Amino acid sequence: MSNGPILTIVGARPNFMKAAPVHVAFERAGHHHEIIHTGQHYDDNMSKVFFDDLRMPKPSVYLGVGSGSHAVQTANVMIGLEQVFLEKKPAMVNVVGDVNSTMAAALVASKLSIPVAHIEAGLRSRDWTMPEEVNRAVTDVLSDLLLTPSEDADQNLIAEGKPRERIVRVGNVMIDTLFMNLPAAKARDVPGEMGLEHGGYAVLTMHRPSNVDVPDTFARILSALLEIQQRIPIVFPIHPRTRKRMQESDVGKRFESAKNIRLTEPLGYLEFLSLTARAKFVITDSGGLQEETTALGMPCLTIRENTGRPVTVDEGTNVVVGTDDEKIRSEANKILDGRGKSGRAPALWDGKTSERIVSAVATFLATSPGIRRL
């Protein structure tokens, strides 16, 4: 086993808020821990603002791989990380979530016989058209330590034949970040600055290729949203992929100029949390936001046909509405008529997940005689 550092690999926006508390917890426990950034996301408002808001140290390496097709992006991350791992000889590589950088890092580490811990292991949507589902399944096959957020994730891994001793349920690390930053986010009044009343607007995020790259689906969702905005203003921090698609379609152009649609650039972590914490409800196709709304007790409509986070539906405030315009409209009307879903925070979504991650990794390193492949 190497005496080198423990590395956590980040690449895209949803990784940053998961890595922030992990870094703090490793340092607090006296480990040498470094953050490596692949540069999958590179715009300041998709990347740097999160490092600033979450007071994360500068990554010790920034690869700058940028955008590209899945193959190009994944390959560039692999080429860059192989060099980094050969030089740093890490004792362990932590990967988080399900983006291309996650899977690429797991592949490189495992081929160099460096142990891999997957934070947020075991989530499955069973929708193989989603790139994230491929990334999750591959990453879990390659990981030596499977750190899961919820019981359903444990069950998925067991059903796939993963040894139970590799699975450690640690809870939801993104909720550590949420709880830690909620007071600072609430100290800001982003809705007020936009002229919105607390509880008097909805927040929308939408960037999944299956929603925005398929013209019929995109048009159907936008036409439902055009009706909803007649009853309540909708704030929409728009992902670069979606902005591009919006400008290419007629309904997109109509949507952009609708009276009650407030388009903004992608927001930083604190600004966005200031908005979501005081909204009436959230409409999203993001995975993380389904969890954050459950932790906040805020009704959430998920515009996807399935969810990789069933616990947010079983226990939380999430309703999976798919992409049918009628269903999106009727569920939004339910909330506006005071019949929104309530819920509770699932077990181990308690702000202490990063500490449990550190102790699971430390136990693994102390007791594992070497790499044991699944």
- Partnered with residue 302 across adjacent β-strands are 284, 320
| CA 251 to chain CA centroid, nearest Å | 28
Q: Examine residue 13 and tell whether it contacts ligand UD1 (CB under 6 A).
A: yes
**Beta carbon of residue 125, minimum distance to ligand UD1 (angstroms, whole number):** 12
Q: Examine residue 124 and tell whether it contacts ligand UD1 (CB under 6 A).
A: no
Q: Examine residue 284 and tell whether it contacts ligand UD1 (CB under 6 A).
A: no
Q: Examine residue 100 and tell whether it contacts ligand UD1 (CB under 6 A).
A: yes
Q: Which stretch binds ligand UD1 (CB under 6 A): 75-83, 145-153, 239-247, 346-354?
A: 239-247
Binders in 201-220 for ligand UD1, by CB under 6 A: 207
**Beta carbon of residue 135, minimum distance to ligand UD1 (angstroms, whole number):** 6
Of 53, 63, 52, 56, residue with least CA distance to 11: 63
DSSP state of 345: P
Candidate list 41, 118, 207, 239, residue with the active-site label: 207
Q: Examine residue 254 and tell whether it contacts ligand UD1 (CB under 6 A).
A: no
Q: Are strands 261-264 and 6-10 parallel, antiparallel or unpaired?
A: unpaired
Interface pattern 51-70 for ligand UD1 (x via CB under 6 A):
----------------x---
Q: Examine residue 42 and tell whether it contacts ligand UD1 (CB under 6 A).
A: yes
Contact 19, 56 (CB under 8 A): yes
Closer to ligand UD1 by CB, 48 or 188: give it.
Answer: 48
Q: Examine residue 19 and tell whether it contacts ligand UD1 (CB under 6 A).
A: no
Count helices and strands in the chain by DSSP H and E runs: 17, 13
CA distance 92 to 284: 34
Closer to ligand UD1 by CB, 89 or 244: give it.
Answer: 244
Closer to ligand UD1 by CB, 43 or 326: give it.
Answer: 43
- Scan for tokens 């750190």, then name that residue: 147
**Beta carbon of residue 120, minimum distance to ligand UD1 (angstroms, whole number):** 12
Closer to ligand UD1 by CB, 211 or 229: give it.
Answer: 211
- Within 8 A by CB and 6+ apart from 19, the residues are 8, 10, 35, 56, 96
Sheet holding 61-62, edge to edge: 61-62, 33-37, 6-10, 92-96, 116-119, 145-148, 167-169
Q: Examine residue 326 and tell whether it contacts ligand UD1 (CB under 6 A).
A: no
- How many of the chain's residues bind ligand UD1 (CB under 6 A)? 17
Does residue 207 carry a catalytic annotation?
A: yes
Q: Which stretch binds ligand UD1 (CB under 6 A): 40-48, 184-192, 320-328, 339-347?
A: 40-48
In the list 6, 9, 10, 12, the residue contacting ligand UD1 (rule: CB under 6 A) is 12
Q: Examine residue 240 and tell whether it contacts ligand UD1 (CB under 6 A).
A: yes
Assign 3-class secondary structure to 240-266.
Answer: HHHHHHHHHCHHHHHHHCCCCEEEECC
Q: Examine residue 294 and tell whether it contacts ligand UD1 (CB under 6 A).
A: no
Closer to ligand UD1 by CB, 23 or 239: give it.
Answer: 239
CB neighbour class for 128 (10 Å; exposed up to 12, middle 13-18, buried from 19): exposed
Q: Examine residue 304 and tell whether it contacts ligand UD1 (CB under 6 A).
A: no
DSSP state of 130: S
Of 246, 285, 279, 282, residue with least CA distance to 263: 246
Closer to ligand UD1 by CB, 21 or 308: give it.
Answer: 308
In the list 132, 140, 176, 331, the residue contacting ligand UD1 (rule: CB under 6 A) is 132
Q: Examine residue 329 and tell whether it contacts ligand UD1 (CB under 6 A).
A: no
CB neighbour class for 137 (10 Å; exposed up to 12, middle 13-18, buried from 19): middle
- Within 8 A by CB and 6+ apart from 173, the residues are 18, 21, 22, 96, 119, 120, 149, 353, 354, 357
Where does this chain bind ligand UD1 (CB under 6 A)?
12-14, 40-43, 46, 67, 99-100, 131-132, 207, 239-241
Active site residues: 207
